């Protein structure tokens, strides 16, 4: 136990030094792709590795038997060594981009706010209606809406209907449906919300309220917990983009965290039928250590033999004659050994992106990925702040990217190498921006590129 405490103290020293450098010296903004990714990583991965090593999560120890001390120490090592590699990655991106540190984010938000043209509501409404149409088509493919099974029991558990809607029991390809009925409406809700804040009329306010209400329903309709939390946070980011002088006091963070925990507990009670005591236990476990389970299983299961790309998307590896290995599903079965796979209700145990890298290629490539991913995320930040058009459309797309790439801290790496969702979103972005340029650029001299000025 003393050894684990000593390792934890050493880990916290590395963590504290890196965070102090990033947020105080480099002034890394949380409102950025690289910044919010780091916050997500700390909250769901790093803290969880410490809690597990110190034996503070009784559920993981007693129910899941995650007690291998050597594996837990390896988990802490990987989650800690990530921080200095992260620093190297973002410094490298800033050097390549020749980035100057002169309030570039503040300048960007000010210039977006000063661009008041918002005469392109028709295309936003049309895309929203397309999303609803796809959602209606999708509803015909599922036996019952999971959230309604909580209110009106159908003879089977709400979890059955969840797996039938978005899990192993769904017959079809859920991913393309969800792109249209969820992710695209999320994106255009940011556009509508920002324009509603930035106009005096009622048109955008009505559009904004309608789309946001729909998106909130979509976030909870399949009785998952995380989507509604992150969607509400993303709306706060939109509000912050409009009013960046909102004070980021510790009380705000504590209040937000408290409300999120209460919401998750209530969802466990009403969606999953838990009593309040068990709901508190499971919610705490899910929030603090649930995302680290997959990494624990990967280190324990793949320390000697690696997958060599077998967990990459099937459409890619099948062409090469490689059989797909469903890493998230297998880790769920490995950790939750009591699950019967024949029921079809297995679920997934996703973890931080470098878990998949480790399972496929080992430690050396894992270290390289710890530099590479922060480097790329920071580079995207720099491209947006220096080169992106200054309007609410690209700002909303940037917020979408913040929440898209935060999933690298929570899920596999390979889907981001073959990112069909991002390609579709860029296509939607270009359609909306074309309408914007046609409606707003005539005679207005709209500024389409960002010019950084000393202020």
Per-residue confidence (pLDDT) for residue 426, from 0 to 100? 94
Give the pLDDT band (50/70/90) at residue 158. Answer: low
List Cβ neighbours of 256 (8 Å cut-off, separation of 6 or more): 233, 236
User: Which one is predicted more confidently, 248 or 293?
Assistant: 293
Q: What is the pLDDT of residues 331-349, one digit of tens each?
A: 888 887 777 776 666 677 7
Per-residue confidence (pLDDT) for residue 315, from 0 to 100? 76
Say if CB 111 and CB 388 are below 8 A apart: no
Per-residue confidence (pLDDT) for residue 252, from 0 to 100? 58
How far does Cα 366 stand from its chain's mean position?
21
Among 193-202, 329-338, 371-380, top mean pLDDT goes to: 371-380
Per-residue confidence (pLDDT) for residue 365, from 0 to 100? 95
List Cβ neighbours of 1 (8 Å cut-off, separation of 6 or more): none
Q: Over the chain, what is the mean pLDDT?
A: 83
Distance CA 115, CA 75 (A): 47
Say if CB 335 and CB 280 are below 8 A apart: no
Percentage of the residues of the chain whose pLDDT score is greater than 70: 84
Per-residue confidence (pLDDT) for residue 443, from 0 to 100? 44
Say if CB 126 and CB 407 are below 8 A apart: no
Distance CA 18, CA 12 (A): 10
Summarize the confidence of residues 50-55 as an average pLDDT: 90
User: Which one is predicted more confidently, 109 or 31?
Assistant: 31
Say if CB 361 and CB 306 are below 8 A apart: yes
Distance CA 196, CA 206 (A): 8
Distance CA 223, CA 146 (A): 6
pTM (2 d.p.): 0.89
Summarize the confidence of residues 63-70 as an average pLDDT: 85
Per-residue confidence (pLDDT) for residue 251, from 0 to 100? 56
Distance CA 99, CA 96 (A): 8
Distance CA 265, CA 277 (A): 9
Of residues 300, 336, 326, 342, the one with CA closest to residue 69:
300
CB atoms within 10 A of CB 257: 12
Say if CB 230 and CB 101 are below 8 A apart: no
DSSP for 180-244?
IIIIHHHHHHHHHHHHHHT-SSSHHHHHHHHHHHHHHHHHHTT--SHHHHHHHHHHHHHHHHH-T
Rg of the chain on CA atoms, in Å: 22
Among 190-204, 266-280, 299-313, 351-365, top mean pLDDT goes to: 351-365
DSSP for 96-150?
HHT---SSHHHHHHHHHHH------HHHHHHHHHHHHHHHHHHHTTSSS-HHHHH
Distance CA 126, CA 319 (A): 37
Of residues 49, 32, 47, the one with CA closest to residue 90:
32
Q: Does position 257 have pLDDT exceeding 80, yes or no?
A: no
Q: What is the pLDDT of residues 102-116, one digit of tens each?
A: 567 777 777 787 776
Give the pLDDT band (50/70/90) at residue 208. Answer: very high
Inter-axis angle of helices 353-361 and 69-97, nearest 10: 110
Summarize the confidence of residues 250-262 as an average pLDDT: 64
Per-residue confidence (pLDDT) for residue 450, from 0 to 100? 39
Longest dimension (CA), the chain: 71
Per-residue confidence (pLDDT) for residue 60, from 0 to 100? 81
Distance CA 330, CA 315 (A): 19
- CA angle 172/174/177 to nearest 5° reads 110
Q: Does position 449 have pLDDT exceeding 50, yes or no?
A: no
Q: Within a 13 Å sphere around the CA of 334, how many CA atoms are in the beta-carbon half?
A: 19
Q: What is the pLDDT of residues 69-94, one digit of tens each?
A: 999 999 999 999 999 999 999 999 98
Which of 32-36, 127-131, 247-251, 405-409 bottoms out in mean pLDDT, i.e. has the lowest?
247-251
């Amino acid at each position: 136990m003393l050894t684990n405490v000593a390792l934890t103290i050493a880990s916290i020293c590395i963590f504290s030094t890196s965070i102090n450098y990033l947020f105080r010296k480099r002034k890394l903004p949380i409102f950025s792709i690289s910044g919010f990714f780091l916050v997500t990583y700390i909250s769901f991965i790093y803290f969880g590795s410490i809690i597990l090593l110190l034996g503070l999560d009784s559920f993981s120890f007693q129910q899941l038997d995650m007690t291998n001390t050597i594996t837990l120490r390896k988990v802490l090592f990987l989650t800690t060594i990530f921080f200095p590699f992260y620093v190297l990655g973002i410094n490298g991106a800033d050097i390549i981009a020749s980035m100057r540190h002169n309030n570039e984010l503040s300048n960007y938000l000010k210039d977006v706010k000063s661009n008041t043209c918002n005469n392109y509501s028709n295309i936003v409404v049309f895309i929203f209606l397309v999303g609803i149409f796809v959602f209606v088509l999708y509803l015909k493919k599922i036996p019952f809406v999971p959230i309604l099974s909580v209110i009106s029991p159908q003879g089977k558990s709400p979890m059955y209907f969840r797996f039938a809607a978005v899990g192993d029991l769904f017959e079809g390809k859920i991913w393309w449906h969800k792109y249209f009925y969820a992710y695209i409406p999320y994106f255009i809700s940011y556009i509508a919300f920002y324009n509603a804040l930035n106009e005096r009329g009622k048109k955008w306010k009505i559009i904004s309220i309608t789309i946001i209400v729909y998106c909130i329903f979509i976030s909870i309709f399949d009785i998952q917990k995380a989507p509604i939390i992150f969607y509400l946070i993303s709306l706060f980011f939109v509000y912050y983009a409009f009013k960046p002088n909102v004070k980021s006091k510790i009380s705000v963070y504590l209040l937000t965290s408290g409300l999120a925990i209460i919401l998750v507990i209530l969802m466990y009670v009403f969606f999953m039928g838990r009593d309040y005591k068990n709901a508190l236990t499971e919610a705490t476990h899910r929030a603090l250590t649930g995302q680290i389970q997959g990494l624990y299983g990967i280190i324990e299961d793949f320390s000697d033999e690696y997958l060599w790309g077998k967990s990459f998307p099937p459409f890619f590896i099948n062409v090469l004659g490689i059989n797909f290995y469903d890493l998230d599903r297998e880790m769920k079965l490995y950790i939750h050994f009591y699950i019967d796979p024949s029921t079809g209700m297995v679920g997934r145990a996703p973890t931080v992106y470098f878990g998949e890298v480790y399972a496929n290629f080992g430690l050396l490539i894992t270290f390289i990925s710890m530099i590479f991913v922060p480097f790329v995320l920071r580079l995207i930040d720099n491209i947006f702040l220096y080169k992106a058009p200054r309007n609410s459309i690209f700002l909303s797309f940037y917020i979408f990217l913040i929440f898209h790439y935060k999933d690298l801290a929570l899920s596999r790496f390979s889907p981001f190498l073959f990112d069909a969702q991002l390609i579709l979103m860029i296509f939607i972005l270009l359609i909306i921006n074309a309408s914007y340029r046609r409606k707003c650029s005539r005679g207005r001299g709209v500024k389409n590129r960002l010019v950084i000025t000393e202020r």
